[in-house]
Amino acid sequence: MVQKSERLRIPGRTAARGARPLGNVTRGTTNPNRMRRVDRWVTGTQAWRFRHLAAPLAVDLGYGANPRTAIELFERLRVVNHRLRLTGLEIEPGRVARALLEARSGLDFQLGGFEIPVPDAPVLIRAFNVLRQYDEADVAGIWSALTARLAPGGLLVEGTCDELGRTAAWVALDDGGPLSLHLSVNLAALESPAQLAERLPKALIHRNVPGEKVHSLLAAAEQAWLAAAPLAGFGKRQRWIAMCTALRAVGWPVLDGVSRFRLGELSVAWDAVAPDGLGRSDHQLL
């Protein structure tokens, strides 16, 4: 059963021993390969954070009614570091009981929420399709609670995607706060960059209005996409690459390069889209 959304209060950023997990029960819907875009980004650009560690821990927070995507994350991270461990956390006991049937060496599931009740500090926390049911005012506190649990050099990846994983958006954060915004889309299904708006993370989805930075980014992307229309005959990949390149040329702090653009990714430094009160310096003050 989905728990009605309520304002989240995080006492001291952690739950008292024996207290109920912090958070609300989500719908729990998922599909195989739904998180492939964010997982590909993590293993492709962030592997340096855990490749050489002895036995790093990753956490998949809120994996849903089926642990399939947590298992996929574990298998993908194990390619980078065969000693990596992953714990899937869910707030609903029945989901944990079902997931434990899939546990294996290095892969575990347990009851937990935003307090991240694991013995070791994780080098990676993935929280996808979790914050969308909360108030925007809760985001800063949740980010702060989660990043406080990270190991040195660890990363929080928080975002959302559609049911099939064709469109995804996420924020990358370390213990100092948000670093970057990442947009990823199946180019074969893309008609316009405007499609990305409905999958923006909770911190940004209500900010896609004139006067906000993220609205300016999407408007600039749309303009660059239209300007690249003559390349449509060479395929959407070439048109997307041209769009990303044009955004960088006019001053947007676009990260990475063609090797990521060609995958349907667009990444920008967080400060370029940060709403008031959610900048990196604001996080450090929490």
* CA dist., res. 3 & res. 243, Å (int): 41
The pLDDT, as a whole number, for residue 31 is: 83
What does each of the 286 residues of the chain score in pLDDT, given as a tens digit?
Answer: 334 445 555 544 444 445 788 888 876 677 889 999 999 999 999 999 999 999 999 999 999 999 999 999 999 999 999 999 999 999 999 999 999 999 999 999 999 999 999 999 999 999 999 998 899 999 999 999 999 999 999 999 999 999 999 999 999 999 999 999 999 999 999 999 999 999 999 999 999 999 999 999 999 999 999 999 999 999 999 999 999 999 999 999 999 999 999 999 999 999 999 998 888 777 765 5
Q: Domain extents for the chain?
A: 1-175, 188-265
> Dihedrals φ, ψ of 73, to 5°?
-60, -45
Number of neighbouring beta carbons within 10 Å of residue 161: 21
The pLDDT, as a whole number, for residue 114 is: 97
> What three-state secondary structure class fits 119?
coil
The pLDDT, as a whole number, for residue 158 is: 98
* CA dist., res. 194 & res. 222, Å (int): 7
The pLDDT, as a whole number, for residue 74 is: 98
* CA dist., res. 102 & res. 73, Å (int): 14
Pick one of 3.20.20.70, 3.40.50.150, 3.90.1150.10, 3.40.50.300 as the CATH number of 1-175.
Answer: 3.40.50.150
The pLDDT, as a whole number, for residue 280 is: 74
* CA dist., res. 58 & res. 47, Å (int): 12
The pTM assigned to this predicted structure is 0.92
The structure tokens 């993908």 sit at 76
| Contact (Cβ atoms closer than 8 angstroms) between residue 261 and residue 245 | yes
Q: What is the total residue count of the chain?
A: 286
Question: Which ranges of the chain would DSSP assign to H, the alpha helix?
Answer: 36-45, 68-80, 93-99, 139-147, 202-205, 213-227, 236-249, 258-261, 280-285
